Amino acid sequence: GQESRKMSSKGTATVWKNLNPFWGEEYTLHLPMGFHSLSFHVMDEDTIGHDDVIGKITLTKEAIGAQAKGLDCWLNLTKVDPDEEVQGEIHLGLELLKDTEKISLRCQVIEARDLAPRDISGTSDPFTRVIFNNHSAETSIIKKTRFPHWGETLELELDPEELREEEGTVTVQVWDWDMVGKNDFLGKVEIPFACLHKTPQLEGWFRLMPLGNNEVDAGGKLGALRLKVRLVEDQILPSMYYQPLIDLLVESVISPTEVEDSSALTMLEEVTTVESRQDVAMTLVKIYLGQGLVVPFLDYLNTREVNHTTDPNTLFRSNSLASKAMEQFMKAVGMLYLHEVLKPIINRIFDEKKYIELDPCKIDLNRTRRISFKGAVSEAEVRDSSVELLQSYLTSIIESIVSSVDQCPPVMRVAFKQLHKRVEEQFTEPENEDVKYLAISGFFFLRFFAPAILTPKLFQLRDQHADTRTSRTLLLLAKALQSVGNLGLQLGHGKEQWMAPLHPIILRSVASVKDFLDKLIDIDHDTASEVPQRAVFTASVTVKEGFLHKHKAEGPQLLSRFAFKKRYFWLTSETLSYAKTPDWQVRSSIPIQCVCAVERVDENAFQQQNVMQVITQDNDGQLHTMYIQCKNVNELNQWLSAIRKVSIYNERMLPSFHPGVHRSGKWTCCLQADRAVAGCSRTHSAVTLGDWSDPLDPDVETQTIYKQLLQGKDKLRLVPENVLGLYAFLFLNTRGLCCYTVKHCRAGIAARLLVVIEDLEQAHATFQRREKEDATSVIMNP
């Protein structure tokens, strides 16, 4: 569909010089409920000129939704046919006129929006043709626009016998006029003539469809793409329906029960599958961040995990909810910190592209540059050079980490302090002295910094995957940093004895790592907790930041493509601000509550790609537009999503916008002269991406937890312990007499969860029924 294709485009990294690329990338796209299809285009990136299209795969919404667990298969690429690549909608009015003198079909061609760009300028020169049997008529050509406004009436005079036809079709085609060569197809609408007999007057917006050529499977000649695609459709209820479930989750971590008692959280972990545990962990982290209770939440899970562990060597080694929650928590609140610590050294490794290898079985003397001018390069010289480079890189990484205490977010430090305390209380023996350090470093080094070094792109440290040479360097450094996180305790016991040259530097780092961890947890718990964690995550801490190009809004070069100036932007839940540099003292700010639309801008507006607009409304009701250019489509999607999410509950959102700019006395999109005329295209409130940096959305998060509990409803019904307690709770609770013991036994917790689940089930059913009733009262376009 037009919106899903245009507004939710996303690009993988480029794999250079490879006909069998592996990406291994995962994206979450938030699509409009009415989307029709999802397309995957495989491109050949060219450093000069336009990228070439190798082929595409198109999946319909029905095909994706037919598989409960999603699609997972190889699909052959098909050739890209321009006649099939259509988008947009056209506004038509059709009327069948019958009088004594003549019979005619009158077609009002009012306007179209979001047509496909067919010209090199990123626009089209559209005209419309109406066809019925052997009759046809055309509108005028509107030059250089994807949002044409015709306002023309075309009339086809029909023969009396044609009036009796039941099988005929009225076709409205949109074409891009070309002075040289054939015209390009932009889409069509087909309306059964029988509809005009039933409803003599039709008017509305119609989606443009492709010409109808069947996509030809090239039989694998263009290659194949392996995809895993899963469609999840959720109905989000008003907040009040989720409050009982939120109350149960909050009660789990703040009620004065013993940590070993059952709670909604422990029940949730019992019914959660291993496959979904990571998603559940991230969702819970966001819920408790929103409630200002993320530290008590983590402390609750970690205390249970520590108390249930007898062998300190297995502490947090499983993929339990506690382990996953800590891991997702660090991503949610610590990514900007990780970037600050690692990005300079990661950039250096990528830039230098050194050949590094320690494993004698893998040394390839042909892949390294000449090290010695005296003769052929030996394995020993390669190893010595590699050791020297790895020591340099590893030293820089360790020094950057151990000197970063003040950069680490306070909420992370408090969470680690609590973890340190619980481990120290559980493992008091002298021989377990290091366990309190290992518990923290296991998360900090092994589950946070080491994975980021291994795959920088997945942590947004780089835009592209590393090449083979750099990947090997990063793997060796990640292994070494894991040993640092293990405080050197496993050195010499593994199979990779060729890592031994790095052992001295790892052992020398142990003292500084312990000192770092001691300083990391040396923070006043009360002081850090004075600010609710929700503020830490949204208002006080930047949701997204980085260099963008802002359009200069004044002066003679108002609409020049060179009027974009580089500025550093920060986005929080309260403001979008910018300055010349990250360290610049003076910032300009826009209150998020003033944002009323965040949209893309047509390429032809500034002859520039990846431009977006942020439309705001001041207290006097005046609209102001800021144009911002991003460096690529991925960054554009991330900023669109982030700003839309923080402004999603604003009251004065616009229903329409102009994807062009007002230049030379008219809009470049719809060619209207009035600067204040209503927008020619619908706005998009839906976000385009979902990832760790998403701002909080409590209703969506609680809906996710509800769905997990719904899947485990049968397990909750079978809670064996104290079944009588379940009935006691159900009986007494209706009379307000439920006692503490009944409420907090396993059966009591299960019963309370079942009540919440069933209430939400009923609410969903009620809303779905209302939607169906509303839909039947609307006359749908044929």
Place of tokens 């005046």: 622
**What confidence score (pLDDT) does residue 244 get?**
94
Distance between CA 546 and CA 335 in Å, rounded? Answer: 13
Evaluate if residue 474 carries a pLDDT over 90.
yes
Cα dist from 281 to 264, 299, 418, 586, whole Å: 14, 14, 19, 39
- The average pLDDT across 114-137 equals 88
Query: In degrees to the nearest 10, what's the CA dihedral of 67, 71, 75, 77?
Result: 100
Tell me where in the chain the CATH 1.10.506.10 domain(s) lie.
334-530
- The average pLDDT across 194-202 equals 83
**What confidence score (pLDDT) does residue 415 get?**
94
Fold of 542-690: PH-domain like (2.30.29)
What does the longest C-alpha to C-alpha distance in the chain come to?
Answer: 107
Scanning 114-173, the segments in alpha helix (DSSP H) are none
**What confidence score (pLDDT) does residue 776 get?**
43
- The average pLDDT across 717-725 equals 57
Beta bridge partners of 202: 94
**What confidence score (pLDDT) does residue 390 get?**
95
Tell me where in the chain the CATH 2.30.29.30 domain(s) lie.
542-690
Tens digits of per-residue pLDDT, 430-447?
Answer: 888 889 999 999 999 999
**What confidence score (pLDDT) does residue 583 get?**
87
CATH code for 334-530?
A: 1.10.506.10
Q: Does domain 89-207 have CATH number 3.10.180.10?
A: no
**What confidence score (pLDDT) does residue 691 get?**
58
Closest by Cα among 473, 453, 475, 456 to 464 = 456
Tell me where in the chain the CATH 2.60.40.150 domain(s) lie.
89-207
| Exposure letters 429-447 (e unless 16+ CB within 10 A, then b) | eeebebbbbbbbbbbbbbb
Tens digits of per-residue pLDDT, 724-769?
Answer: 445 544 544 544 444 444 456 778 888 889 999 999 999 999 988 8
Tens digits of per-residue pLDDT, 222-281?
Answer: 899 999 998 888 888 888 899 999 999 999 898 756 666 788 998 999 888 888 888 899
| Residue 675 CB neighbour total at 10 angstroms | 11
Distance between CA 549 and CA 214 in Å, rounded? Answer: 42
- The average pLDDT across 499-507 equals 92
| Residue 94 pLDDT level (bands cut at 50, 70, 90) | very high
| Residue 524 pLDDT level (bands cut at 50, 70, 90) | confident
**What confidence score (pLDDT) does residue 47 get?**
73
Tens digits of per-residue pLDDT, 352-375?
Answer: 999 999 988 888 877 655 444 455
**What confidence score (pLDDT) does residue 532 get?**
38
Cα dist from 499 to 174, 359, 438, 495, 721, whole Å: 66, 8, 21, 9, 52
**What confidence score (pLDDT) does residue 646 get?**
81
Tens digits of per-residue pLDDT, 303-318?
Answer: 989 988 888 888 887 8
Evaluate if residue 389 carries a pLDDT over 90.
yes
Evaluate if residue 490 carries a pLDDT over 80.
no
Tens digits of per-residue pLDDT, 632-687?
Answer: 877 888 898 889 878 877 888 898 899 999 988 888 888 889 999 988 888 876 56
| Residue 93 pLDDT level (bands cut at 50, 70, 90) | very high
The pair of three-digit structure tokens given for residue 477, joined into one six-digit string? 């450094």
